[in-house]
């Protein structure tokens, strides 16, 4: 049994005996049949409204398994690093917020909502999870494609401008956003958009060899010449995407505009 599977079982058993816990659901890799020895464990745990202010999450988690680190990340999620360096994410919320589960529908596909069910004494959890079933949000839309193209331009220009200024580290950071939007467009072209919000997940398995090579071409080390090459390659990839996607989608930019960007890039670096 994987350590993560042991944790899932222990959390389920603790929820059963803890009078403070109203319901518990799991999300992430282990609910999608993708969990392995490297995967996180991730939970939403709902507490009785009148108990949540006195609830000590650190004690509750430590009673399940020892950990080395417990903190809140930038999204307000409580992150645990267990003693064997497996990560866990916990959201402790009042029972009155249980309907928040329905809002997850917009984030992706939930192929097996039954596997998300851990514990419930409210009688409301299953209905909320059932609401997540079926098809996920439609990603291949004119709006999404246009959004990705436009935000590519925004990230690309910022990255090139700070590169011109000599801020190589900041340009490399901007390049990660360039990669994000290009990858979303590549996934549209390949009709593989299930991982729209986490587009690099399982990239090695999801994309064709050609597409993976395109993505690789817009990666870079912290070096001005290599950054220039990556930003130039991003334009070549986007120009091909414009040619292919223009048959099915409407968007603002065209090849004349990307040609203008290429000229600007060459002027910046004197080519």
Helix locations, the chain, DSSP H:
3-17, 57-62, 125-130, 142-165, 168-189, 203-206, 209-217, 224-245, 255-268
Q: Is domain 3-130 given the CATH code 3.30.460.10 in the classification?
A: yes
Give pLDDT tens digits along the chain (271 positions): 899 999 999 999 999 999 999 999 999 999 998 999 999 999 999 999 999 999 999 999 999 999 999 999 999 999 999 999 999 999 999 999 999 999 999 998 899 999 999 999 999 999 999 999 988 899 999 999 999 999 999 999 999 999 999 999 999 999 999 999 999 999 999 999 989 999 999 999 999 999 999 999 999 999 999 999 999 999 999 999 999 999 999 999 999 999 999 999 998 776 5
pTM confidence score: 0.91
Quote the pLDDT of residue 141: 97
Count other C-beta atoms under 10 Å from residue 6's C-beta. Answer: 13
pLDDT at residue 203, rounded to an integer? 92
Candidates 1.20.120.330, 3.40.50.300, 3.90.1580.10, 1.10.630.10; CATH matching 142-268: 1.20.120.330
Same fold, 3-130 and 142-268: no
Q: Locate the domains of the chain by residue range.
A: 3-130, 142-268
């Amino acid at each position: 049994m994987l350590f993560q599977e042991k944790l899932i079982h222990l959390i389920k058993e603790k929820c059963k005996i803890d009078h403070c816990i109203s319901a518990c659901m799991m999300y992430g890799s282990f609910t999608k049949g993708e969990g392995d020895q490297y995967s996180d464990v991730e939970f939403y745990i709902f507490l009785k409204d009148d108990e949540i202010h006195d609830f000590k999450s650190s004690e509750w988690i430590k009673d399940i398994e020892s950990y080395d680190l417990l903190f809140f990340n930038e999204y307000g999620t409580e992150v645990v690093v267990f003693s064997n360096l497996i990560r866990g994410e916990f959201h402790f919320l009042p029972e009155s917020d249980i309907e928040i589960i329905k809002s997850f529908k917009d984030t992706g596909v939930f192929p097996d909502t039954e596997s998300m069910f851990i514990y419930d004494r409210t009688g409301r959890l299953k209905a909320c999870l059932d609401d997540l079933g079926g098809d996920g949000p439609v990603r291949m839309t004119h709006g999404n494609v246009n959004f990705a193209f436009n935000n590519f331009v925004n990230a690309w220009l910022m990255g090139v401008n700070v590169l011109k200024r000599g801020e190589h580290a900041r340009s490399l950071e901007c390049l990660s956003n360039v990669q994000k939007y290009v990858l979303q467009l590549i996934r549209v072209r390949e009709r593989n958009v299930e991982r729209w919000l986490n587009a690099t997940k399982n990239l090695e398995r999801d994309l064709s060899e050609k597409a993976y090579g395109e993505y690789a071409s817009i990666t870079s080390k912290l070096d001005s010449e290599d950054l220039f090459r990556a930003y130039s390659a991003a334009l070549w990839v986007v120009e091909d995407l414009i040619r292919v996607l223009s048959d099915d989608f409407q968007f603002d930019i065209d090849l004349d505009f990307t040609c203008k960007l290429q000229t600007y890039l060459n002027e910046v670096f004197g080519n």
